[in-house]
Structure 1
């Protein structure tokens, strides 16, 4: 377990969420599931109370707190995607079953956790030394919900 990680609060869905997350991102795994030794205010004996998992090499914990927490946008899980197929796959899986699309590559999964699904090409295009290129890419991105690599590249090309 890493010395520093991120803890995500869930009502009761930490184990289900962690299993979905690790199934989607390479280099991921469930490290440990701590189960309640007795009934507690948030659940029953044997329920998962803390799920330690590694997501793309980063340490996370999912805590079943027994009540729903609201996530803001001050923090999110950001995934750099190699190609459009990966963007599409993650987008589809994370918005399924009650997830929601936001804008500019942002979404919320069915537990309300905010995610950024970002093609690896985007930071490079935004950092283009020609300010006109980066401005066109930025303008195109602002019109998108799920990011479209081909459209971003067309914007860059002018």
Structure 2
């Protein structure tokens, strides 16, 4: 029998070409710039989105969970969707950012992948109105001493500001 701990926790797969998204690349850049201003004001080095609405708004990727968690980690320099190994390269093709696929070979690979992308941030922004208690506990366990800061109301306010697009 194969030792499951030898299997990868995550990987990338750029399967195919990117497709046209609902908004232009400039619009997604504008949204990310506004988010990074929110991050600076809240003094957080990373944001972890778990809601369909924020992931779609900031990346263009709209998912169907099939009972597995999806996420997006944004830092001052990067944005990455975190998706299960059920969609292959589709999340990368259908988003404005990078994508990492987590595997089910070990428990909590989603949260380990999220923590790795957060890069040891001391303070992490989360959606307090969407993150479950179990998810909050798992994120806290994966990130160690990082403080979790609710930025849900700030991102909601940012989504209310409409562009010409």
Interval containing the TM-score (normalised by the shorter chain): under 0.3
Bigger strand fraction: 1
Larger Rg: 1
TM-score of the superposed pair, with normalisation by structure 2: 0.24
TM-score of the superposed pair, with normalisation by structure 1: 0.24
Bigger helix fraction: 2
Q: Which structure ranks higher in relative contact order (CA pairs < 8 Å, sequence separation ≥ 6)?
A: 2
